[in-house]
Amino acid sequence: MTPEQMRDASLLELFSLEAEAQTQVLSTGLMALERNPTQADQLEACMRAAHSLKGAARIVGLDAGVSVAHVMEDCLVAAQEGRLLLRAEHIDALLRGTDLLLHIATPGDPQGEAGVPAFLVQMAGLIDPGAAPVVPAPKPTPVAEPAVPMPAPVPSPAPAEPALLDAEPENELPALRKTGKRGGEGGERVLRVTADRLNSLLDLSSKSLVETQRLKPYLATLQRLKRMHGQGMRALDGLKTQLEDSGQSPEVLEALAQTQRLLLETQQILQQQAADLDEFGWQASQRAQLLYDTALACRMRPFADVLTGQSRMVRDLGRSLGKQVRLQIDGEKTQVDRDVLEKLDAPLTHLLRNAVDHGIERPEQRLLAGKPEEGAIRLRASHQAGLLILELSDDGAGIDIARLRRSIVERGLSPADTVEQMSEAELLTFLFLPGFSMRDKVTEVSGRGVGLDAVQHMVRELRGSIELTHVAGQGCRFHLEVPLTLSVVRSLVVEVGGEAYAFPLAHIERTLEVAAEQIVQIEGRQHFWHEGRHIGLVAASQLLNRPAEHGEGGSLRVVVIREREQLYGVAVERLIGERVLVVMPLDPRLGKVQDISAGALLDDGSVVLIVDVEDLLRSVEKLLSTGRLERIERGAQMGRGVTRKRILVVDDSLTVRELQRKLLSNRGYEVAVAVDGMDGWNALRGEDFDLLITDIDMPRMDGIELVTLVRRDQRLQSLPVMVVSYKDREEDRRRGLDAGADYYLAKASFHDDALLDAVVELIGGAQG
């Protein structure tokens, strides 16, 4: 291929990209003009889009595109000047021209130029019924000329063109495009890259983030070494005093003094190294987090990208069925992973077609019901707790419950007397069964029984859920919840049989601590009562084939998981905490691993397996049906009369004090509390404690002042000190550690065992 041919190919690719964006502007604007043909802003946006496409088609030598865009521009200018009122036939023809432009811009598409002559005749008749159309003869292919820059699209109030970071994995387009001001000044350069490269970037950045977390154990070791070093120096001070009192020779005392000087020098080096490592680790983790967030953002696209053509599809399908339907979309800018968007296209199309066909009534029926002739379908997208929430509702007739009951009985899915006793929620679940349809006659739109069951299957593949509700005569509402990205999953990490497992938060109803006396036996199964209902209790160790461990204090840590209306409590040994995990698919050679969907790495580089909750619940049902579900043995109460380690918690927040006191008491520690630094200092001087846990920001005396006083006191110098703060600020960390704290813990919540783990690391278990 010659350089000139390569240049032309690049221009054609750029024209194809511009046509994709501008035809979307046209489709959106024309459908708005169909409802209000005199909207000045939409007339201007459509005219500008047609004008831009005409100029771009002329540059790349596509005369058919020039002709189509030119006649569309003439029609829209006439409407702007008041010489023409756009009617339904005009909108239909302009939408047809929009489709033609997209075909013309697609290389090798046979539907392009073939339909141009008839379209020009149609448009000429609509613009000026008395004039004869002039169809320009095609020109010979021009000889390549010097490269001409593509004209920048004229800004308009219509939706912005789609992001270019959405190339298919198989293709990599070399075209580089500038957006913003003409000529690219001040604009943002956007490069098309393959999805595989973005995936690799995200994978590398996630591993970098994990690697930075592995510095934490080294820092903890240095802090422990620094504490032991300080204890050694204090022991030498005591020895020196004893030797001086016993009248030892000057040589021995000088040797001891020399040893103390060396230890002081090593202490200073150790303190500096610990401070440097702490600062490096904190900065490295911040940069790695930023790198990961940036890489993840490259995969995110606005929800509007999946809606391309959906409004047009709803409008055209409604017209073909003799209905007037409008699609209203909220949350178009909501950011979602490109893989999720691609997988949402098919289920959303199913649901929208279903709403138009099944939900929205004909105009005459709507008028009789006191509704406007035009039916409304609303699609709303939003973020909530790391999930994409989609709500698709219509103002149609809703579900004919009586007809649904008959269909269930006629298909032999359930006896008539049982169906009559079912609630509406139970009846609606039948609509999601494979092959189920309420249509007696198969049409091009529906009746084949491949609707809601396919939607549910596709949503579940996204690790999401779907729920249907309705109000008779007022319409239906589908509620979908799917992850914002398939690359990461927000999870609760737990310990089962000494191994880490992760439950996706999308399936978790809540976590509980269930006392032994709350567990009851009903029909051979263990349950506990919570919020007005009995919840079945199963052991994670049995489901995941791990050795069982007894809980402490006769209580169980329980993760309540939900799948539709099913609730189960899964007993685990320990709640490690909430984590955002980078999903790492299992080796395909392993096949489907029972109850496991994927793997991930924790902060310390250890492996965690992500639980497949649907599969896990199937395992529960299988164990129940075979009678092999084991009872959970509660651990015996802790022995009495054993000396327990004492902890002083100092915090000015009543909520935080009580939360920490409860966590530590449940683990067996004896806990005292103080309301501020001054109160804590008084308690420390009057009683003995094994550990001090203090906040930083407090009245009268803050935590830094309290730690400083502790380290200056001869009796309290060796007392382990932990600073706990809700602020993860570098200056707070440095101040706390420099003042003499042995541990700094930044926490947004205490819904996991991070605090307890830190306490065990500092002073061991509760029993002395």
Q: 3-162, what's its fold?
A: Four Helix Bundle (Hemerythrin (Met), subunit A) (1.20.120)
Give the tokens for residue 502. 């992760």
> What pTM did the predictor assign?
0.56
What residue spans of 180-214 are helical by DSSP H? 195-213
Sign of the CA dihedral running 88, 321, 430, 346: negative
Question: What would the mean pLDDT of 712-720 be, rounded to a whole number?
Answer: 86
* Interval 424-469: pLDDT, tens: 888 888 888 877 776 655 454 443 344 688 888 888 878 788 889 9
* Interval 15-67: pLDDT, tens: 888 888 889 899 989 988 988 999 999 999 999 999 989 988 888 888 899 99
Angle value at C-alpha 714, between 710 and 720, nearest 5 degrees: 45
State residue 95's pLDDT score: 92
Question: What would the mean pLDDT of 273-294 be, rounded to a whole number?
Answer: 84
CB 446 within 8 A of CB 349: no
State residue 465's pLDDT score: 83
Q: 646-763, what's its fold?
A: Rossmann fold (3.40.50)
- Between 275 and 157, the higher pLDDT residue: 275
Using the predicted structure, report yes or no on whether residue 140 has a pLDDT greater than 60.
no
* Interval 340-359: pLDDT, tens: 888 888 899 899 998 998 88
- Between 533 and 213, the higher pLDDT residue: 533
Percent of the chain surpassing pLDDT 70: 83
Kindly report the CATH class assigned to 308-483: alpha beta
Rounded to whole angstroms, the Cα distance separating 365 from 368 reads 5
Mean pLDDT score across all residues of the chain: 79
- Between 688 and 147, the higher pLDDT residue: 688
State residue 233's pLDDT score: 84
* Interval 503-562: pLDDT, tens: 988 778 888 888 877 888 776 678 888 877 778 888 888 888 887 765 555 678 899 987
Using the predicted structure, report yes or no on whether residue 145 has a pLDDT greater than 50.
no
Of residues 296, 306, 289, 288, the one with CA closest to residue 198: 296
CB 136 within 8 A of CB 63: yes
**Burial class of residue 608 in the structure, from the number of CB atoms within 10 Å of its CB (0-12 exposed, 13-18 middle, 19+ buried):** buried
Partners of 512 in beta bridges = 558
State residue 188's pLDDT score: 60
Angle between helices 654-666 and 754-763 (to 10 degrees): 60
**Burial class of residue 460 in the structure, from the number of CB atoms within 10 Å of its CB (0-12 exposed, 13-18 middle, 19+ buried):** middle
Sign of the CA dihedral running 298, 299, 301, 307: positive
- Coil, strand or helix: which one is 37? coil
* Interval 476-485: pLDDT, tens: 999 998 888 7
Q: Candidates 3.40.640.10, 1.10.167.10, 2.40.50.180, 2.30.110.10; correct CATH number of 488-626?
A: 2.40.50.180
Rounded to whole angstroms, the Cα distance separating 534 from 567 reads 9
State residue 731's pLDDT score: 75
Q: For the CA atoms of the chain, what is the radius of gyration?
A: 35
Residues found in the chain? 768
State residue 341's pLDDT score: 87
State residue 523's pLDDT score: 65
The one-letter amino acid code at 208 reads: S
* Interval 82-137: pLDDT, tens: 899 999 899 999 999 999 998 888 877 777 788 899 999 999 989 887 654 444 44
Using the predicted structure, report yes or no on whether residue 176 has a pLDDT greater than 50.
no
